[in-house]
Amino acid sequence: MKKFGMITLSAVIATGLAACGENGEETTEEPANGDAPADTGEDDTEELEDQVNVDDEMDESSDEDENEEDEDADAEEDWYEDLPYDEFELEAEYSHGEYEAEYEYEGGNPEAEIEDTRDGEDIELEGEEALEELSGILPEMDVDENSGDDEVLEAAIDAFNLDEDYSELEVEIEFLDDGETEVEDES
């Protein structure tokens, strides 16, 4: 029984090795007398060089990916430095609750707070969570100190994706050049 197991195991291993060697590489068959073939070392050297080159390429690619991720993270973190204002407040009152967003950038330190009580929800975000939420909203608002009241309201409604059935909407913006806009609309 042991001989049968050994023969079967040998056949499985030989078949596996034969199948692995059919990928275009030269295979070396062992002589029938059991002597191992002479190893010239040439194939091994080429194979190692190829493997090292592939590893180097993968490392360079990985480094490039990490640099791109770092740049993306830096760009995401610095979104507030590109805004034309350093203070922003929005209050939208509805019959079913209200939505408030506050943002302030002072001395290189951004702060934010969001409260949403519409539709019976009670959502409060502060600090990093609120800043992350606003990072996709405030940069989309195309307003500056020369924007008219209607432009400011429309930009706020679009950027914050607000329903227009509000009872009152108030937007206050303090621009970097000390200009200030205060817009209020009641329906």
CA 103 to chain centre: 23
Predicted pLDDT of residue 121: 87
Average pLDDT, integer, range 26-47? 54
Do the beta carbons of residue 30 and residue 36 sit within 8 Å? yes
Split into its structural domains, the chain has a count of: 1
Cβ count near 117 (within 10 Å): 15
For residue 165, give both structure tokens: 């059935």
Whether residue 26 is contained in a domain is answered as no
Q: What is the pLDDT of residues 5-25, one digit of tens each?
A: 556 656 656 666 566 655 555
Whether residue 74 is contained in a domain is answered as yes
Q: What is the pLDDT of residues 113-161, one digit of tens each?
A: 999 999 888 999 999 999 999 999 999 999 999 999 999 999 999 999 9
Confidence band of 76 (pLDDT split at 50, 70, 90): low
Structural domain span for residue 80: 70-85+94-120
> What is the model's pTM?
0.60
The CA-CA-CA angle for residues 141, 142, 143, to 5°, reads 100
Cβ count near 168 (within 10 Å): 13
Whether residue 77 is contained in a domain is answered as yes
Whether residue 180 is contained in a domain is answered as no
Whether residue 11 is contained in a domain is answered as no
**Sheet of strand 168-175: strand arrangement:** 123-126, 109-116, 97-106, 85-94, 168-175, 180-186
The C-alpha atoms of residue 99 and residue 97 are separated, in whole angstroms, by 7
HSE-up of 113 (CA within 13 Å, CB side)?
Answer: 7
- Please give the C-alpha separations between residue 176 and each of 28, 55, 82, 173, in angstroms, as whole numbers: 76, 50, 11, 10
Residue 70 has pLDDT above 50, yes or no: no
Confidence band of 72 (pLDDT split at 50, 70, 90): very low
Predicted pLDDT of residue 3: 57
Whether residue 143 is contained in a domain is answered as no
For residue 6, give both structure tokens: 């050994």
φ, ψ for residue 155, nearest 5 deg: -65, -40
Whether residue 108 is contained in a domain is answered as yes
Whether residue 114 is contained in a domain is answered as yes
